[in-house]
Chain A
């Protein structure tokens, strides 16, 4: 059974601090990794994707991929109250084109 695991939270972070969200996956051959943000009552919104080992930065967001340890993380710098949401990690396993979603981590930015 291919799995994507996330801590459900809530993760509380002071405004202006760095929020660190983590995700582990079971299929060692996985190639494609995604982070979605979902506000309460809204649909998931793609905010980052990463395909290679290392870091990928986009504005205040950095995705980090470590295939050897089978984890992917999302860092949010200078956290804002508007970052409060549920963050979904998603993975496309090798030899399978159907994306698998984690159950999400709730992030709460404290003003």
Chain B
């Protein structure tokens, strides 16, 4: 357990509404990631962060923004949710500390988001 929590765990929202998902970690890991997982596509990287206020885009970043104002929190925002953003969202961490090499990623429990 890498001390990662995600909230909410389940959310149903309507098309066009803003949604923010939160990833919280308790062990000061430097790197944090947001993925979405869809049948037929596997895990795809949305955004990642390599430190406070340092973020970058992943493979499927359109329609998503992120923020990291504190080491422990990485927020994913859907500014105007669409049905194509219905998915399971996973947060992950990695770090070069506490026995970690920096390459292995550990995942949070996930958030199931449905956009109607």
Segment among A11-19, A44-52, A64-72 that sits at the interface with chain B: A44-52
For residue A101, CB closer than 8 A to chain B, the reply is: yes
For residue B42, CB closer than 8 A to chain A, the reply is: yes
A88 touches B43 (CB 8 A): yes
Segment among B12-20, B63-71, B72-80, B103-111 that sits at the interface with chain A: B103-111
Report which of A42, A49, A104 forms a contact with B104, defined as CB distance below 8 A.
Answer: A49
Interface size on A, residues (CB 8 A): 18
Chain B contact surface mostly: loop
B103 touches A103 (CB 8 A): no
Tell me the number of A-to-B contacts counted with CB atoms below 8 Å: 40
Interface size on B, residues (CB 8 A): 18
Q: A27 CB to closest chain B CB, in angstroms?
A: 15
A32 touches B103 (CB 8 A): yes
Q: 15 more A-B contacts (CB under 8 A) besides A45-B107, A101-B42? A: A34-B103, A34-B104, A34-B105, A43-B90, A43-B108, A43-B109, A43-B110, A44-B107, A46-B106, A49-B104, A88-B43, A90-B105, A98-B58, A99-B45, A104-B42
> What are 23 contact pairs spanning A and B, CB under 8 A?
A34-B103, A34-B105, A43-B107, A43-B108, A43-B109, A43-B110, A44-B43, A44-B107, A46-B105, A46-B106, A49-B103, A51-B103, A88-B42, A98-B45, A98-B48, A98-B58, A98-B59, A99-B45, A99-B103, A99-B105, A101-B43, A101-B44, A104-B42
